[in-house]
Structure formats: structure tokens, C-alpha cells
Amino acid sequence: MTRKMAAIPIHAATALLAFAVAHPATAGEVTAPSAFFAQPPGSDYFLADYTAYEAYLKRLASQSDRMKLVDIGKTSEGRTQWMAIVSSPANLAKLEYYRDIARRLAKAEGLTGDQAHALAAEGKAIVWIDAGLHANETVTSQGQIQVLYRMLTQTDAETRRMLDDTIILFAHDNPDGMEFVSDWYMRNVDPKKREFGTLPRLFQKYAGHDNNRDSFMAQLAETENINRQMFRVWYPQIIYNQHQTGPAGMVVFVPPFRDPFNFHYDPIVMTELDELGSAMHSRLIEEGKAGSGMRSAAAYSTWHNGMVRSVSYFHNSIGLLTEIIGGPTPATIPLIPSTQLARGDEPLPVAPQAWHLQQSLDYQWTLNRAVIDYASRNRERLLFNIYRMGANSIARGSEDSWTITPATVAALQAAPALKESSVDEYGRPRTGPKRVDPALYGTIAHAPDKRDPRGYILSADQPDMPTTIAFLNALIKNGVDVERATASFAVAGKTYPAGSFIVKTAQAYRPHILDMFEPQDHPHDLEYPGGPPKAPYDITGYTLAFQMGVKFDRILDGFDGPFDPVPDLLAPPPGHVVGQGTAGWLISHRTNNGFILTNRLLKAGIRPAWLTDPVALGTEPASAGAVWIPASSRAAAIVTQATRELGIDAFAQASTPAGPQIALKPVRIGLVDRYGGLISSGWTRWILEHFEFPYALVFPKRLDAGRLRRNFDVLVFTDGAIPAPTGSPWKTDRSAPPPKPETIPAQDRPLLGVITEAKTVPAVKHFVEDGGAVVAVGGSTRLAELIGAHLAPALSQDKGAKALDTKQFYIPGSLLQARIDNREPLAYGLPDHVDVFFDKDQSFTPAASATGVHKVGWFDGPTPLRSGWAIGQERLVGTIALAEVDLGKGKLFVLSPEVTQRAQSYATFKLFFNGLLFGGAQAPAPVPAP
């Protein structure tokens, strides 16, 4: 007899563990997958969906004494995200005890080495193994079903040892995606007709594939749930994030990874990662499973902090990624001759052959076992080393320390060569790299002003405190300890008010802190000396404090003050209604949350306006764009609630402000998307919903139909929405062509179509000339050229027809500083310089006969790079990054930097928001439908 209890959700790091606990059962009582699902997972032409997976997890939890089930939160679509904890019954009975050991060792606070050794001897290795992050990578979810069953039922000595030594957290990263993708694949009754094709929408509600770029930001519900378990509840020493597909002609990519690695994290992470990766390869080869590759077999590096497996490095955990072939539809491993010669990065080549899903699941089982076995055999060492890395971070944050970056090396290389004999000690001509005086190490590499900070102070007088709170919450979601000042204090001769925030680096997650505050200095990575740049795996510059426009001071010496720890996620400090005037209120244009208030007023039928003359509010300097809200009882209720909730101040006025105003009105926004889903459009949906902008999705067929002013005031084309020919100065659209209508369900056919120069562009041009506004972001600023906006691409050759060679100009996802004219409505609320995200984007020069072009943002110096990597950045000098262009009765807003990048670049959101509201304000009244 067994019984089942409902799982209780965990929603805070300090919550007690709660489980769906069952009476112990023998292995024979555990239901096999083949007896539960409609077909055995791993069968050709079959995928289990999340509904069935969830039911199976509950069945297992009710039957096995080796597993307990935890609700870790809700998904973006409202499903429960489950995590199965697997270990021996004795360990499961003491989970809280072992979790506390893992926490104490990972935080490394107040422990001596001897105490840490004692805890490591008692503790259990914690291993995170997930599945399904990218839902179209179906091997991982289907494989997890088999892995769970086998770990719960096998009784061999190795399995018992693994269960005794480890606690394994089997999580599912994207329940919504598993349900959607599985059901999409299974839609055809005839198994032989089942295929994926192109999915009609993103497999994660907002981010699709970019749900694996959200880790340091943790905006998505699923990411926040995952991060809470990894960095605030369980502190695993190993984080295994499973993916597909493998390199062509191989079966699976397994670490080690290629360079570069990030300079902030502890090198122990890298050496342990290489060990574990090698153990995984070895186990595959021992079992005769050929076709694993490493390093040069794929492009994966360990630089970027945004991925599930890479964010772990900044938290002293071993982060793994594997990429395996396979799927429910049988496939073939092709014959690629270059993969058939054994080498260090591909020790056992695989022969070309037919390939079935169960074969991939067998490999997945071996890889999971290898990881758990490594954790078992190295249990004490893993536990102690996560302490050692945390203690190293605390020590480095407590004393003078330096991070050597490519800029440091370049400064040393620029020094004169060491004067020494032309021959070595054996009389041979001296060769090899340049040598410099070792004394320069102290004066250049360890220059006092180049020290790493002991901490960062974020003063309470931030220009946009709610955004600063969002930044601090991103740190807290990643387990960083934040403090708040209870009284004013002074550091380094500067006084800070009470309510200021402090982030000290003397804590275990110091690498993550530095990576969020300090500029990334990516190596000058070339295919060969003098050759073209080697493309990074992802972006190279992403400093979150820069992206969010947070103001902070770097403190180089030790400091303290009246600081209290922040216990959990923060809410913005309540704002206030300031003054007694009865005519209305003014609010600052400097806060992003001010747009939420504006949208609530517009929704209620209240018409705020922007003042075009500079106005000073409170202690902030005078600037244009203050929002005027005429008094009414409805407005008073909205303003009073919003100031408290959103952390913004409203300044009551005795009379209506003098001077010109831009009257706002409700704006009908059309956000362009396409069949299959455009990731940049998905992130923009998240932003629009978060800041309460109403919108409707618009697909190519609707654009092509014309008469767009009937339904829209503003159209938004995000990065990638406008295709471009290969070799042009514009980013090339890599989306798959849409499927034939007859191959997809009828409800998805309106999403079909492609944007074309022949049909779509004329319709969009007519929309603008008829009084509409277009906001074009990133690569979609190609519209400026297509609709005749008198702006020419500056980063091009052959009269704008061809892209620059990458050896001449190459900026792959970096942060640049742009000069801003904040007297222009498009830039209201911005400072005079702002950091913008630039990823192989374009900049512009006005045509000789240009009219109606308002230059809003441009690059005013030869070195605009703030964080990342840039080749030929001097070519940007004087070129236009942001512009407003008058066309007929309407406007085109050209936002070449990706101002909404992955919903991270809060510092530039105002450019997007201003374009939406200003574009609508300038439009004439809506044209009534006939």
C-alpha cells in the first residue's frame, strides 16, 4: 500500500523544504515508463508532453522512497515547475541537514579550513541535472523520464553508492515549452507524418531560445525559479544543463570548452570542469559509445554569464553543457570525412548510420551516470573546493587584489623590452615572446588605481530608483548579498544618505558581482594572427549596471557603516505626492516606472502631456519632458496609488505650467512578429506588458494588406524583423521559411507570410506618410533606406551596397557610449550620454539633401567601447545612432542600437517608450473603419 501527499511550493530561500512524501516502496512497485505513458518514451515518432510527465512524477513520488517532489514555482503560462530530489532514503530523511551543509560551505562565511573539511566529510555532493530548457531539443525531457526510473529502481552497487554519496536535483526548466512542442509534434495521427517543421510560435512565452540568456537577469518566471534553487536554496557543486543538437558527423559535444574564459571566476572551476568533462568522455568510450567531441568540435566557450551552465562559474559551481543529436523522428548521422580521423578533441569517431531516439537516450543515461559517479567519487573534494573558492573570493574582496585582463597585458606589451643578452644560457640565439622588466608588474599590472573594488555604493539619490531596485533584485536572485544603510554615512570623503545600497565584494559570489559592475574586456580573438576575428559564442559585453543606467561608486579600500542586510527581494521605496497644489501634478521623465503611470492614466481616459521646456522637479536638474497630469478625482486616485506602488514622486502644482506641451493620447501599437516567433519581438512583449503598454501582434499578411492607419498609430519592427540580403551592410535574417499552409493547423495560417520589399515596404511607407509612426530597432533600421528616410549606412562600402570586412569593423554584442540630445522628445528623460547595446548593427550619415532628420544620438569620440570587444570602433565617430525622421505626416524613429536588448537594457528603454507615445501623439485622429 502506498499513499501520496500533495507537494507544497517553496517560494523563498529561507522556506522550510516541503515535499510530496510517500511511504517507502520496493523497487518492484515503481511504475515503469512503458506501463504509464501512451508509448514508452524513447519510441520512434512519440513524445510525452508535460501533462503526462507531471503525472508520472507524482506517481513516482508516491511509490519510491528514493525520491521527493518539490514545487519550485509557477511558469510564465501558470504551470507548476517541478523538481525531483533523488537520493538514498537515509539522505532524504535528513535533507534539511545536508542542504544546510551545502549552504554553509558555498557561502564560506565564518568557517576555518578545518571546519570546512569536517563539514565536507559529513555532507553530500549536490548535483543539479535539468532537462527541457530548449523545448524543441526533445532528447533531454524524454531522457529524464528514463533516468529517473532507473535511478529509482536499480539496485547495483554503483547506483547504491551514488545514492548514498549524492543528492541529485532533477529539474525541468521549461514545462510550457515541453507541452507545446510535444503536442505540436504529435498533432498528426499518422506517426510517419509527424514532424516539427517550423513551430508557429516561440517555445517559451517571451524568450524562446533566449530563455538560456536570462540567467544573470532572471526576468523570466522559470529563470527566477531555477536561480532560487541553485543559488539561494541548494547551492549545487555541479550544474548540468542538457541540450541538443550535437556537431555534424558526431553524436554529442561534451566539455572541455574552447577559450576564452571569463577573468572573474575562480580557476578551480575550470580545472574541475575539465576533469568532469574528461570523465564523461571516458565513460562513453568505455561503454563503446562513439562520437563525442570537445573544444574545437563546437563553438561553445565560457565567457558569457547569461546561460544556465555559465552563470554557475560565477557562483563557484561546475557548469556543464552537452549537445546531443536525435529526436523522435529517426535520422541519419552523415558521413563527414573530417570527423573520421581520431584526434584529441574527438577521440573515438562514430560511423555514419541510421539513428533513433532511444540511442540518444542511452547516451544521455551514460552522461548522467558519469556526472553522478564523478560527484560520488569526489564528494568531499567538491564540497571542500566550493568552500575554498568562496573563501578565496572573500579573501580577495577583503584585501587589495587585481584582475589581469587583455588591457593589462597590452599595457605590459607596450613597455620597452627587457635589455638582456642576445643569447640564452646555452649560447643559443634568444627567441620567444617579448620580455619586459619584472618590476613593471607592480607598477602596471598592480597599479594602485587598477585595484578591484572592495565594494560598490549605490546612493539613494539615484535618477531612477525603481530601475536601481530592479538591478539589485537581479543580484539578489543570483544569491548576492546586498546591504542597505540605516543612516547617512561617509566613505572616501563622500557622504551618502540613509537608504543607499551597498554591495561588498568580500562574499562567495564575488565573481558574479564583478561581472555585473565591471566592464568586460574580451580578448582580441582571431582565427589566426592577422586574420579575421573568431566569432564569440554569444555577446562579449553586457555589464548589467551599465545596461540599466545604475549610478554607483567603486570603493577601492575597505569600508563599513550602519548597514543592514537586505533579507529578500526589494520593492521600490514608496514615492510621495509632494506639495499642496490643486491644479495637477508633474512627474519626472527620468524614471521608467513613470511610463506605467502614464499608461494607467491613458487607459482611464485621462490625457497627460509632456512639457517641452525644461522644468526642475525636487532636487533633479531642469530637463525637458516632465509629465503634466491635470487634476481630477480619477487622476488623483491613480496618481496616489502609483506613487506608493511604483516608487515615483508626483509634484502637486498650483497652476497649469506655462509653455508648449505635447498632448498624449492612447496609442494603438502594432508589434511586428512572424510565423515561428521572433525572439526580439518576444522580449519586447515582455517589456510592453511589464510597463503596461497595450499592443497587438502584427504579421506580414496584415502589413501587406495595407490601410494600416485603420488599426494602428505606431508599428514596431524589432531587431531581425526586416530581412536583408547576404553580404549587405545589414544583419542577415536567418529564419526558416514559413511552411506551406496545408501542413499546419488552420488557426496558425494567419501567422504565415514574409516581409518583402515589393509588397510590405510600400504599405509601411504609406502608413508613415499617412500619419503613422514606425519604431525600428537594430537591424530593422534598414527601413530607413527602404522607405527613403535620407539616411545612408555609414558602416558599409561600395556606396552602401556591401558590408565592411570584419577585419575593418567588428563589434559583436558590446556596450558603447552614445551622446544624446535630450532636448528632443525621443530622448526625453535620458542623460547626455548613455550606454547602448550594439551587436553588428549599423550607424548612419544623413544624405546630402536630407530634410526632416533630427539627430538624437551619435558617437562623439573615437573610443565609444564601454564593455566587450570592438575592432575599428573609430569608424563610428560622428555617425548617427538614433534619429527621428519626418516622412509625410508621420515619423520614423531610427534606433540602431538594440535599445530593448533581451529586456536588460533599462537605460535605453525610454527611447523606445518615447517613440511609442510621441509617435502616437503626433498622429492625427484614428481613421474610422468604413
Q: What is the pLDDT of residues 907-917, one digit of tens each?
A: 999 999 999 99
Distance CA 466, CA 591 (A): 7
pLDDT bin (cut points 50, 70, 90) of residue 6 is very low
pLDDT at position 490 over 90: yes
| Integer angstrom CA distances of residue 568 from 12, 232, 475, 508 | 8, 10, 11, 18
Provide the mean pLDDT of the chain: 94
Q: What is the pLDDT of residue 922?
A: 58
**Helices marked H in 69-220 — which ranges?**
89-92, 95-107, 113-122, 138-153, 157-165, 175-185
Distance of alpha carbon 621 from the chain centroid: 34
| Residue among 428, 416, 396 nearest 513 (CA) | 396
Examine the pLDDT at 504 and tell me if it is beyond 70.
yes
Enumerate the β-bridge partners of residue 455: 504, 555
Q: Which CATH architecture has domain 669-922?
A: 3-Layer(aba) Sandwich (3.40)
Calpha distance 865→775 (Å, rounded): 25
Query: What average pLDDT does this structure show over 862-890?
Result: 97
Mean pLDDT of 473-501: 98
Q: Is 764 helix (H, G, I), strand (E, B) or coil?
A: helix
pLDDT per position as a tens digit, 359-379? 999 999 999 999 999 999 999
Q: Residue 5 pLDDT more than 60?
A: no
- Structure confidence at residue 372 (pLDDT): 98
Supply the pLDDT for residue 428. Answer: 87
Is-contact 601 646, C-beta < 8 A?
Answer: no
Amino acid 8: pLDDT: 29
pLDDT, position 424: 82
Return the pLDDT at 3: 31
129-149: average pLDDT:
98
Assess whether pLDDT exceeds 70 at residue 7: no
439 sits in the region (left: phi over 0; alpha: psi -120 to 50; else beta) called alpha
**The predicted structure's pLDDT at residue 851:** 85
Q: d(Cα 670, Cα 600) in Å, to the nearest integer? A: 19
What strand order describes the sheet that includes 292-293?
Answer: 67-74, 80-86, 166-172, 125-131, 238-243, 318-324, 252-253, 292-293
Band (pLDDT 50/70/90 cuts) for residue 221 is very high
How many CB atoms within 10 Å of residue 295? 18
Cβ atoms of 856 and 917 within 8 Å: the answer is: no
Rounded average pLDDT over 119-139: 98
Q: Is the pTM of this model over 0.85?
A: yes
C-alpha cell at 36: 504509464
Categorize the per-residue pLDDT at 423 as very low, low, confident or very high, splitting at 50, 70 and 90. Answer: confident
Residues β-bridged to residue 168: 86, 127
Q: Look at the alpha carbons of 625, 630, 635, 637 in this order and tell me if their dihedral is positive or negative.
A: positive
> Which tens digit of pLDDT belongs to each residue from 782-794?
999 999 999 999 9
Instruction: Give residues with Cβ within 8 angstroms of 198, minimum separation 6.
Output: 675, 676, 736, 737, 738, 739
Burial class (CB in 10 A: 0-12, 13-18, 19+), 500: buried
Residues 246 and 364 sit within 8 Å (Cβ to Cβ): no
pLDDT of 24 > 70? The answer is no
Q: Inform me whether the pLDDT recorded for 746 exceeds 90.
A: yes
Domain ranges (residues) in the chain: 27-394, 577-663, 669-922
- Please report which helix (H) or strand (E) contains residue 264, including its range: none
First and final CA of the chain: distance in angstroms?
70
Q: How far apart are CA 254 and CA 243, in angstroms?
A: 10
Q: What is the Cα 517 distance to its own chain's centre? A: 16
Q: How far apart are CA 543 and CA 32, in angstroms?
A: 48
For residue 681, pLDDT beyond 70: yes
DSSP secondary-structure letter at 833?
Answer: E
Using one digit for the tens of pLDDT, what is the confidence trace for 589-641? 999 999 999 999 999 999 999 999 999 999 999 999 999 999 999 999 999 99
Handedness of CA 239, 244, 247, 251 (dihedral sign): positive
- How is domain 27-394 classified at the CATH fold level? Aminopeptidase (3.40.630)
Q: What is the pLDDT of residues 526-540, one digit of tens each?
A: 999 999 999 999 999
Region of residue 79 (phi > 0: left; psi between -120 and 50: alpha; otherwise: beta): beta
1 has pLDDT over 70: no
Task: Say yes or no to pLDDT of 696 above 90.
Answer: yes
Enter the DSSP assignment of 751: G
* 3-state SS string for 569-604: CCCCCCCCEECCCCCEEEECCCCCHHHHHHHHHHHC
Show the cell assigned to 373: 559517479
Contact 146, 361 (CB under 8 A): yes
The Cα–Cα gap between 904 and 916 comes to: 19
Closest CA to 908 of 857, 851, 852, 859: 857
Return d(Cα 924, Cα 889) in angstroms, integer: 9
683, 902 contact by CB (below 8 A): yes
Alpha helices in 32-137 (DSSP H): 33-36, 50-63, 89-92, 95-107, 113-122
